[in-house]
């Protein structure tokens, strides 16, 4: 899956060796190596998508006990915490698969990728003919398809964890589509609305992150239900009487570990030394974030840019101000 | 030689004819729904931000081809990086985008191209944007054809345009995107070349773009008609064009066979049929061989002429059946036509101001300047008022016709059995056509509204099966063709004599019918009926 995408060297490689490089990436499955070898830009887009996902995760979890911390020296970028089938793992999977789908879609609309499908629904028709007859479908279809192909190929579909991850991957992708913004334009006779064209615009990834963050809070606990006779495995709500989670909701199998204390084996940093909000009653408040251990307040004198005047595109005229900043730090 | 075909047609024949028309109508609807793709498609293209190191505005910047430009990412704003100037950033759109490793190209069947910009502006608490900002766009459009060398771009048009940009935001958080309005940029009336390249700069000098926020990206939405729709549409035109001409020739021959001059209603029918022929003429086929940017304007004008003729026809049709004093020539109807003429002329001027000037400068829009907006609004308001005036006049006339028919019908029982049967038949058929007109108009309205509503709740998921928008267009287009066709058939002067037909049904009342025979100059026996009942 794309979590390891961050391991890819960020710089551009030469055209000759990118195929070799794809084969050398040990954490890729066969299908992923195959997709990687397609085109150099494909891997750049996947890597960009993974980075986008991590940045977004860190933005959304900035003030939570687990703040989406990453490790550059570990095999897995988020540490062993992703082996626990928790809410957080659900979010990571969703945002990563969404990040890949988003980044591939953007690369398609930019014209960076030449492999984007014209119409993912109609098979066998030559793209040029299809384009000139009825036009191509939206790029998000290709982005989703690619993400499904690439990210999902990592998951075994028959285990409970695999099913949970697949569900969350799909939920992440669907969030993008559900946040797409509808735009319409009239261009009929004399500018009348007898001919109206509508299309959808890709949301910003921040909006996708916000939506997924809301889904994270409302994630449902599920368990694996096996019907041996029919050989069907399904994820069902853990408690009877609760609504079955639909395709856009996140699901998890286990409760989250304790993120308060440092845990080396799981890669949890703990909340010691984190900055908290004193007045806030929420999760970012000192009471909850510091897990009841209390906090210290320190006053620092800082020098920051202020009263900035911003001129498109590239001029920011700022003054430097010195002021005292109060910070609360968890014990 | 009396009356029209409609009055002399037996019920069975009429039923056969009507069902034939209905079948044609359904076929038209299904052709659009099942064969044609949706009428137009939108391609979303995200800009590539290129750096113009030399500040040379004559150069073309492109992303695909030899020596593509050097690009930057503007989403992460670098406070330190001061070396870049706004005038050096070129937003590049190269359309169409490649798919499945095939370099797509525009086909001339795709007819026209509309370009719309959408700016992704990010919020910075230090630099809040006003809800309305004036945006200055320096745009340059070029094209390339298949056999051109890959780095040769030919100049098509360029302009420095001002547009209003409305940006709002509910939750103000740093680096969140504003919700900005779309910015219509250009309209090309012909899509003659294979590839297009759009280079855009947002220059900052002399106070221009000074209040613009942090533009992270620009989207271009390129709208063009689908080739499939054009093919289906032109095939329909190729069928309707000869059929309307054929039936018009038949109609003219019938009229020329008469001893009298054509009646007002007949002249009007000829005019409507001619205007429809003008609309039906598949001149769009020429765009496959020549670059004709005025085709969009021409199509609008042809459509306008047809609507004007049809609206005038309805007025004359209703007024002619008032069963009051007959007007002998079309000229006497001029006060009736005034609303149609004024409305059409104002819309025509508007059309010339918008699409006419776009022939010179595809980036032009009348809505940008205050004076232009006022002029456009004034023209549209005049058009709208004329439309309302027309509707009131038409409704009044129709209401009066129905009132007159009602009073005449009340006097029917006093007549003999044969005349009663005959006259109620005429009234029935007149009503029938009246209702057909209303049904046609209503169907157009209803399908249009349904289309708008279904667009509103459009299911974006997989959408196979009936293509509603195309079906609406071909259905409505076919309907008005069939409508005019049927009018030409049913309102042509009849060869049949009444007595001979009446003989079969009521053979005993020969004398009464012979006295019913109207003068050869009468067009509709309904008016005869009016006079006869007055005599009674």
Residues A161-196: tens digit of each pLDDT: 889 999 999 999 999 988 888 888 887 666 667 777
Output B281 or B100, whichever has higher pLDDT. B281
Same domain? A60 vs A117: yes
b/e string for B25-49 if b means 16 or more Cβ within 10 A?
beebbebbbebbbbbbbbbbbbbbb
Query: Which residues share a beta bridge with A296?
Result: A329
Is the pLDDT confidence value at A17 over 70?
no
Range with top average pLDDT, A21-30, A182-191, A229-238, B282-291: B282-291
pLDDT digits (tens, 9 = 90+) for A309-327: 767 666 667 788 888 888 8
Confidence tier at A275 by pLDDT (50, 70, 90):
confident
Q: pLDDT digits over B40-81, tens only?
A: 888 999 999 888 887 666 889 998 888 888 888 776 655 455
Q: What is the pLDDT of residue B517?
A: 39
Q: What CATH number is attached to the domain comprising A319?
A: 3.30.2460.20
In our burial notation (b when 16+ CB lie closer than 10 A, e otherwise), range B218-233 reads bbbbbbbbbbbbbbbb
Burial class, A161, CB count within 10 angstroms (exposed 0-12 / middle 13-18 / buried 19+): middle
Q: Which of B84, B102, B126 sits opposite A310 (nearest CB)?
A: B126
Question: Span B426-444, mean pLDDT?
Answer: 77
Tell whether A202 and A172 lie within a shared domain. Answer: yes
Find the mean pLDDT for residues B350-370: 87
Q: Are the beta carbons of B46 and A109 separated by less than 8 Å? A: yes
Most confident of A22-31, A220-229, B212-221, B240-249: B240-249
Mutate which: B37, B39, B46, vs A, most A CBs within 10 A: B46
In terms of Cα–Cα distance, which of A93, A85, A89 is closest to A223?
A85
Same-domain status, A233 and A317: no
List CB contacts (< 8 A) between B64 and chain A. 111
Q: Which position has the token pair 């979303």?
A: B44
Confidence of residue B523 (pLDDT cuts 50, 70, 90): very low
What pLDDT is recorded for position B325? Answer: 61
The answer to whether residues A188 and A58 belong to one domain is yes
Chain B residues within 8 A of A307 when measuring between CB atoms: 126
Please report the pLDDT score of residue B511 as a whole number.
36
Residues A35 and A82 in one domain: yes
State residue B6's pLDDT score.
76
Instruction: Give the pLDDT of residue A289.
Output: 86
- Nearest chain A CA: its distance from B297 CA (Å): 9
Which is higher by pLDDT, B296 or A11?
B296
Residue B212: partners with Cβ closer than 8 Å, 6 or more residues away: A312, B121, B129, B133, B135, B165, B202, B204
Residues A319, A263 within the same domain:
no
Per-residue DSSP letters for B40-79?
EEEEEEEPEEEE-SS--TTS---SSSSSPPPEE--SS--S
Tokens 């996140």 locate to A250
- Cβ atoms < 10 Å from Cβ of A221: 15
Is residue B472's pLDDT more than 90? Answer: no
What pLDDT is recorded for position B385?
92
Interface ipTM: 0.86
Asked whether the beta carbons of residue B223 and residue A314 sit closer than 8 angstroms, the reply is no
Tell me the mean pLDDT in the region A95-109: 93
Q: Do A190 and B37 touch (CB under 8 A)?
A: no
Contact A195 B110 (CB under 8 A): no
Q: What pLDDT is recorded for position B284?
A: 92
- How open is the CA angle A179-B218-B208, to the nearest 5 degrees? 130
Cα atoms found within 13 Å of the Cα of residue A124, Cβ hemisphere only: 0
Q: Tens digit of pLDDT for each residue in A282-306?
A: 888 888 888 888 888 888 888 887 7
| Pick among 3.40.50, 2.60.40, 2.40.50, 2.60.120: CATH of B41-224 | 2.60.120
Question: Which CATH code for domain B5-39+228-459+467-535?
Answer: 1.20.1070
Q: Does the pLDDT value for residue A206 go beyond 80?
A: yes
Distance from CA of residue B459 to its chain's centroid?
Answer: 25
> A239 vs A87, A221, A222, CA distance in Å?
16, 8, 8
Range of lowest pLDDT (A244-248, A312-316, B112-116): A312-316
**Average pLDDT rounded to a whole number, residues B292-311:** 90
pLDDT of residue A190: 64
How many angstroms separate the CA atoms of B399 and A257, rounded?
79
Q: Are residues A235 and A275 in the same domain?
A: no
Residue A171 is predicted with a pLDDT of 93
Q: Of B38, B85, B127, which has the smallest distance from its Cβ to A314's Cβ?
A: B85
Which one of B86, B175, B209 has the shortest CB-CB distance to A314? Answer: B86
CB-based contact (8 Å) between B74 and chain A?
yes
B 379-418 residues with CB < 8 A to A: 380, 383
Degrees to nearest 5, angle at CA A303 with A297 and A307: 115
Q: B519 pLDDT band (50/70/90 cuts)? A: very low
Interface of B with A in 101-160 (CB under 8 A): 101-102, 104-105, 107, 109-110, 114, 116, 118, 120, 124, 126-127
Q: So what's the pLDDT on residue B160?
A: 92
pLDDT at B462 over 70: no
Distance from CA of A69 to the nearest CA of B (A): 21
Range of the domain at A181: 2-270
Mean pLDDT of A109-116: 86
| C-alpha dist (Å) from residue A284 to A278, A280, B171, B443 | 9, 7, 19, 60
By mean pLDDT, which of A255-269, B150-164, B219-233, B293-307 is the weakest? A255-269
Give the model's pLDDT for residue A37.
77
- Mean pLDDT, residues B271-297 taken together: 93
Rounded distance, CA B532 to CA B536, Å? 6
The pLDDT tens digits of the residues spanning B371-415 come to: 888 988 898 899 889 999 999 998 898 888 888 888 877 877 777
Mutate to test the interface with B, among A56, A177, A195, A197 (most CBs of B within 10 A): A197
- The pLDDT of A119-139, averaged and rounded, is 80
Classify strands B132-144 and B179-180 as parallel, antiparallel or unpaired: unpaired
Residue A124, pLDDT score? 67
| CB pair distance less than 8 Å for A201 and B44 | yes
Average model confidence (pLDDT) for chain A?
Answer: 82
Q: What is the pLDDT of residue B500?
A: 40
Number of domains observed in the structure of chain A: 2
Last residue of a domain, one of A223, A252, A270: A270
What is the spatial distance between Cα A26 and Cα A162, in angstroms, rounded to a whole number? 20
pLDDT averaged over chain B?
82
Q: How many CB pairs under 8 A join A and B?
A: 175
Contacts of A316 in chain B (CB under 8 A): 77, 79
A23 lies in the same domain as A98? yes
DSSP classification of residue B35:
I
Pair of tokens at residue A192: 């009348």
**Confidence grade of residue A101 (pLDDT, cut at 50, 70, 90):** very high
Burial class (CB in 10 A: 0-12, 13-18, 19+), B67: exposed
Report for A15-19, A271-275, B383-387: range of highest mean pLDDT: B383-387
DSSP letters of A112-127? Answer: --S---S-SSS-SS-H
Question: Mean pLDDT over residues B289-298, rounded?
Answer: 90
pLDDT category, B515, cuts 50, 70, 90? very low
* Domain match, A62 and A199 both: yes
User: With bands split at pLDDT 50, 70 and 90, how would you rate the model's confidence at A42?
Assistant: confident
Strand partners, B200: B91, B139
* Tokens describing residue A118: 């014209």
Residue A276, class by beta-carbon neighbours within 10 Å (0-12 exposed, 13-18 middle, 19+ buried)?
buried
| A189 and A110 housed in the same domain | yes
Q: Quick one: pLDDT band at residue A122, thresholds 50, 70, 90?
A: low
* The pLDDT value given to residue B435: 81
Q: Who wins on pLDDT, B91 or A235?
A: B91
Q: Is the same domain home to A140 and A253?
A: yes
Please report the pLDDT score of residue A191 as a whole number: 64
CA–CA dist B172, B119 (Å, integer): 18
Structure-model confidence comparison of residues B367 and A209, the more confident one: A209
- Chain A residue at shortest CA distance from B350: A190
Return the top range by mean pLDDT from A14-23, A33-42, A120-129, B485-494.
B485-494
Closest residue of A to B39, CA-based? A134
Mean pLDDT of B102-122: 91
What pLDDT shows up at residue A94? 94
Q: What was the pLDDT predicted at B260?
A: 79
- Which of A191, A207, A214 to probe the B interface (max B CBs under 10 A)? A191
Residue B326: per-residue pLDDT: 62
Quick one: A169 and A263 in the same domain?
yes
For residue A244, what pLDDT is reported?
A: 83
Report CB contact under 8 Å: B204, A312: yes
Question: Who has greater pLDDT, B257 or B321?
Answer: B257
Give B525's pLDDT tier (boundaries 50, 70, 90). very low
Question: Which of A39-48, A283-292, B345-354, B418-427 has the lowest average pLDDT?
Answer: B418-427
**Could you give the CA distance from residue B374 to residue B345 in angstroms, rounded to a whole number?**
17
Domain extent listing, chain B: 5-39+228-459+467-535, 41-224
Q: What is the mean pLDDT of residues B323-331?
A: 68
pTM over 0.90: no
Q: Shortest Cα distance from A162 to chain B (angstroms)?
A: 26
Per-residue pLDDT at B452: 67
Asked if B97 lies within 8 A of A109 by C-beta distance, the reply is yes
Q: Which residues contact B173 (CB under 8 A, 6 or more apart)?
A: B123
**Residue B442 scores a pLDDT above 70:** yes
């Amino acid at each position: 899956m794309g979590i390891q995408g961050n391991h890819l060297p960020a710089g551009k490689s030469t055209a000759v060796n990118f195929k070799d490089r794809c084969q050398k990436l040990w954490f890729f499955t066969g299908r992923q190596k195959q997709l990687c070898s397609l085109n150099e830009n494909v891997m750049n887009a996947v890597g960009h998508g993974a980075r986008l996902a991590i940045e977004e995760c860190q933005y959304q979890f900035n003030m939570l006990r687990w703040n989406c911390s990453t490790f550059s020296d570990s095999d897995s970028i988020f540490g062993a915490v992703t082996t626990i089938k928790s809410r957080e793992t659900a979010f990571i999977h969703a945002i990563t698969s969404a990040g890949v789908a988003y980044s591939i879609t953007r690369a398609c609309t930019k014209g960076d990728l030449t492999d984007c499908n014209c119409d993912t629904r109609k098979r066998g028709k030559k793209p040029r003919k299809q384009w000139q007859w009825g036009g191509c479908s939206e790029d998000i279809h290709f982005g989703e398809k690619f993400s499904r192909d690439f990210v999902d190929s990592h998951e075994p579909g028959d285990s409970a964890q695999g099913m949970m991850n697949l569900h969350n991957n799909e939920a992440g992708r669907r969030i993008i589509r559900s946040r797409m913004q509808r735009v319409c334009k009239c261009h009929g006779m004399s500018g009348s609305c007898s001919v109206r064209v509508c299309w959808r615009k890709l949301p910003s990834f921040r909006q996708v992150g916000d939506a997924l963050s809301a889904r994270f809070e409302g994630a449902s606990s599920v368990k694996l239900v096996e019907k041996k006779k029919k050989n069907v495995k399904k994820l069902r709500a853990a408690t009877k009487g609760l609504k079955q989670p639909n395709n856009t909701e996140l699901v998890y199998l286990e409760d989250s570990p304790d993120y308060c204390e440092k845990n080396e084996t799981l890669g949890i940093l703990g909340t010691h030394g984190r900055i908290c909000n004193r007045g806030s009653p929420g999760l970012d408040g000192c009471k909850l974030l510091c897990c009841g251990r209390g906090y210290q307040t320190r006053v620092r004198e800082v020098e920051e840019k202020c009263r900035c005047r911003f001129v498109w595109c590239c001029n920011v005229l700022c003054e430097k101000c010195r002021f005292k900043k109060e910070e609360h730090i968890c014990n | 030689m009396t009356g029209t075909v409609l009055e002399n047609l037996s019920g069975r024949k009429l039923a056969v004819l009507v069902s034939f028309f209905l079948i044609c109508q359904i076929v038209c609807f299904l052709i659009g729904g099942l064969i044609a793709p949706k009428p137009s498609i939108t391609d979303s293209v995200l800009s590539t931000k290129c750096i113009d190191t030399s500040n040379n505005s004559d150069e073309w910047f492109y992303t695909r081809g030899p020596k593509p430009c050097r690009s930057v990412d503007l989403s992460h704003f670098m406070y330190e990086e001061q070396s870049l100037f706004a005038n050096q950033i070129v937003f590049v759109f190269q359309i169409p985008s490649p798919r499945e490793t095939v370099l797509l190209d525009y086909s001339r069947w795709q007819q026209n191209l509309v370009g719309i910009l959408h700016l992704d502006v990010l919020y910075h608490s230090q630099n809040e944007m006003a809800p309305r900002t004036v945006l200055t766009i320096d745009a340059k459009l070029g094209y390339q054809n298949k056999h051109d060398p890959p780095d040769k771009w030919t100049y098509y048009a360029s302009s420095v345009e001002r547009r209003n940009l409305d940006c709002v935001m509910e939750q103000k958080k740093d680096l969140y995107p504003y919700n900005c309005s779309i910015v219509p940029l250009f309209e090309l009336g012909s899509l003659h070349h294979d590839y297009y390249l759009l280079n855009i700069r947002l220059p900052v000098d002399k106070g221009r773009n000074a209040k613009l926020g942090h533009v992270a990206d620009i989207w271009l939405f390129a709208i063009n008609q689908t080739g499939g729709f054009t093919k289906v549409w032109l095939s329909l035109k190729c069928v309707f064009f000869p059929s309307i001409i054929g039936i018009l020739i038949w109609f003219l021959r019938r009229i020329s066979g008469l001893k009298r001059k054509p009646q007002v209603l007949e002249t009007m029918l000829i005019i409507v049929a001619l205007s429809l022929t003008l609309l039906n003429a598949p001149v769009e086929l020429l765009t496959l061989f020549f670059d004709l940017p005025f085709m969009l304007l021409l199509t609008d004008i042809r459509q306008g002429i047809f609507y004007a003729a049809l609206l005038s026809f309805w007025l004359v049709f209703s007024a002619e059946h008032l069963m009051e004093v007959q007007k002998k020539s079309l000229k006497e109807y001029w006060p009736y036509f005034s609303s149609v003429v004024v409305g059409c002329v104002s819309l025509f001027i508007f059309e010339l101001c918008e699409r006419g000037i776009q022939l010179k400068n595809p980036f032009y829009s009348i809505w940008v300047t205050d004076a232009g907006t006022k002029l456009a609004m004034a023209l549209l308001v005049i058009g709208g008022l004329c439309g309302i005036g027309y509707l009131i006049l038409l409704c009044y006339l129709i209401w009066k016709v129905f009132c007159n028919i009602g009073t005449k019908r009340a006097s029917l029982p006093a007549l003999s059995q044969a005349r009663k049967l005959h006259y109620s038949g005429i009234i029935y058929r007149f009503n029938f056509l009246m209702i057909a007109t209303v049904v046609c108009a209503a169907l157009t309205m209803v399908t249009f509204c349904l289309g708008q509503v279904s667009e509103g709740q459009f299911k974006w998921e997989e959408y196979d099966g009936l293509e509603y928008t195309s079906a609406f267009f071909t259905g409505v287009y076919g309907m008005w063709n069939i409508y005019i066709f049927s009018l030409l058939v049913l309102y042509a002067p009849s060869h049949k004599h009444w007595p001979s037909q009446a003989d079969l049904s009521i053979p005993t009342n020969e004398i009464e019918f012979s006295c019913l025979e109207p003068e050869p100059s009468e067009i509709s026996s309904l008016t005869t009926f009016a006079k006869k009942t007055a005599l009674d």
